[in-house]
Amino acid sequence: MDEKLKKRIIMFYIGGILNALLGLYVLIEGASFLPSDTARILVLVFLAFAVVDFYFPYMLKRKWLADNAGKQTQDNDPVQRS
């Protein structure tokens, strides 16, 4: 897999973890300094972004595997055809 793609996937995972942690923080401590409706909306936004951040790497891997499925079988062919 391309190093640039690996780096992008890792960044999505890091972003997802940060969004999940921020969502949990607002869920636990948000009621003390925010109105309850605002805290709920923020929790939903952070957790929705966390889900998206974990879904994108899955789609990137799937797309990369689909794009390179033919190339891998072509490169591993022991008989060189011209």
Amino acid at 80: Q
Q: Considering Cα of 41, then 42, then 45, then 48, what sign does the dihedral take?
A: negative
Q: What is the pTM of this model?
A: 0.74
Instruction: State pLDDT tens for residues 11-48.
Output: 999 999 999 999 999 999 988 888 989 999 999 999 99
